[in-house]
Amino acid sequence: MIGVVKANAYGSALEVVAQKLVALGIEALAVAYADEGILLRKKGVNIPILVFYPQVQNFKKIIEYDLEPALYNRRSWLEFKKIVVETKQTHYPIHIKYNTGLNRLGFNFQETEWLIEEIKNSPFQVKSIYSHLAASEEERPHKQTDSQTELFKEIIEKHRKHSKAIDFHLLNTSGIFNYPDFHLDWVRTGIGLYGFANQVDWNKKLEPIARLTTTITQIHKISKGETVGYNCGWTAPDDTKIALLPLGHADGIARHYGHGKGWVLINGTKAPMVGNICMDMTMVEIGEIPCKEGDQVIVFGNKARADDLAEDAGTISYELLSGLSSRISRKVIE
Ligand SMILES: *Cc1c(COP(=O)(O)O)cnc(C)c1O
């Protein structure tokens, strides 16, 4: 299993999660960009680190920090090869990424023969060849996924003829649940490590690792017809009360919350976010909920799932979690 810890371990705590995974015996970690891998090396993580989306201008740093890039087109292949040769390395560990239909990064199937020839004369140790599904969480059978798996099978077959040492992988978290027949040599788990799998049944097998809590800064009584927040974003339909929370869009509570989207839990009851989310503060309507200034508020955690909160605002757990900014202090509880 490759543990995916990109984007500050999906908005949690990169170093803590990485060290924990290493202690649990994970075989490799993956990040999106070189700088994330460098951070891990500086913290003493010394297991293999795959870089999914390495940029050519960072190739020297990748070698300097012993990171393993995914090479995804001829330009990245040739540039990396040049630098590896210049620095007199041999058997430098790399991975090859194929595009089988997602149409994001990757070599195309037609480039397989070119790659096979290149591999023979390269200063690389090709550790793995992989691809990525476009719709791994969607119900089977799925036409696009079937075409991707068929193509990837052909790619595996062609490469296996020339080398037995290469590993193959295809699946992210949802794919691991949905395609047990395609686990191959490795799987790449990201969101699943943090407790989400994009389907109710699969979610049941996981436990979210993080809670986001805050406290009530101030409570106001609001009369019917009064407005709340910038641009008079909400008009009270009745006499009510609002609570001010010290979290805003600069913390990752994006502006598509408010206006009936999003809620927090206060003493076990849902309080809806109202008006426009400010940069540093959010207003929630508390009405008759028994609470006082200083009380704890759960934004997500027990009984308030981050994926539900995300869905309420038309987004996904990935975006909500990875968007939580560094201003939110992380507290580690084992
Ligand atoms: C982020 C990423 C993953 C992890 O996906 P999850 O859905 O979070 O499990 C796997 N593979 C690649 C190439 C990725 O970029």
Q: pLDDT tens, 48-61?
A: 999 999 999 999 99
CATH code, domain carrying 174: 3.20.20.10
Residue 305 has pLDDT above 90, yes or no: yes
| Domain count within the chain | 2
Rounded Cα–Cα distance for residues 23 and 272 (Å): 40
Give the pLDDT score at 260: 85
Can you give the residue range of the structural domain that contains 161? 2-203
Is position 330 within any domain?
no
Q: Looking at 148, 170, 203, which one is the last position of a domain?
A: 203
Q: Looking at 164, 182, 203, which one is the last position of a domain?
A: 203
Rounded Cα–Cα distance for residues 82 and 62 (Å): 13
Measure 245 CA to ligand 1 centroid, in angstroms.
33
Mutation test residue for ligand 1: of 2, 4, 50, 173, the one with most atoms within 8 Å of CB: 4
Is position 194 within any domain?
yes
Nearest-atom index, ligand 1, CA of 132: 13
Q: Do 253 and 223 share a structural domain? A: yes
Is position 331 within any domain?
no
Q: Do 248 and 183 share a structural domain? A: no
Q: Report the percent of the chain where pLDDT is more than 70.
A: 100
Q: Do 291 and 231 share a structural domain? A: yes
Give SS3 for 274.
strand
Reported pTM: 0.97
* Residue 303 binned pLDDT confidence (cut-offs 50, 70, 90): confident
Give the pLDDT score at 334: 84
Mutation test residue for ligand 1: of 132, 179, 188, the one with most atoms within 8 Å of CB: 188
Q: What is the pLDDT of residues 91-116, one digit of tens each?
A: 999 999 999 999 999 999 999 999 99
CATH code, domain carrying 263: 2.40.37.10
Nearest one of 286, 234, 240 to 257, comparing CA atoms: 234
Q: Do 256 and 194 share a structural domain? A: no
Residue 21 has pLDDT above 90, yes or no: yes
Order across the sheet with 2-4: list the strands.
Answer: 167-169, 124-130, 92-97, 68-71, 49-51, 28-31, 2-4, 188-189
Is position 76 within any domain?
yes
User: Looking at 23-111, which runs of residues are DSSP E strands?
Assistant: 28-31, 49-51, 68-71, 92-97
Active site residue 127: no
The per-residue b/e assignment along 79-116, b for 16 or more CB within 10 angstroms, e otherwise, is: ebbebbeeeeeeebbbbbbbbbbeeebbbebebbeebe
Is position 332 within any domain?
no
The catalytically annotated residue of 43, 230, 270, 303 is 230
Alpha helices in 65-223 (DSSP H): 74-86, 112-120, 143-162, 173-178, 191-194, 200-203
Q: Looking at 203, 229, 244, which one is the last position of a domain?
A: 203
Nearest-atom index, ligand 1, CA of 174: 7
Q: Do 295 and 183 share a structural domain? A: no
Q: What does the pLDDT average to over 320-334?
A: 96
In the chain, what's the furthest Cα-to-Cα distance?
A: 77
Nearest-atom index, ligand 1, CA of 2: 10
* Residue 184 binned pLDDT confidence (cut-offs 50, 70, 90): very high
Is position 334 within any domain?
no
Q: What is the pLDDT of residues 199-256, one digit of tens each?
A: 999 999 999 999 999 999 999 999 999 999 999 999 999 999 999 999 999 999 999 9
Q: Residue 28 — φ and ψ, nearest 5°?
A: -160, 160
Q: What is the pLDDT of residues 117-166, one digit of tens each?
A: 999 999 999 999 999 999 999 999 999 999 999 999 999 999 999 999 99
Is position 112 within any domain?
yes
Q: Do β-strands 269-274 and 282-285 pair in parallel, antiparallel, or remain unpaired? A: antiparallel
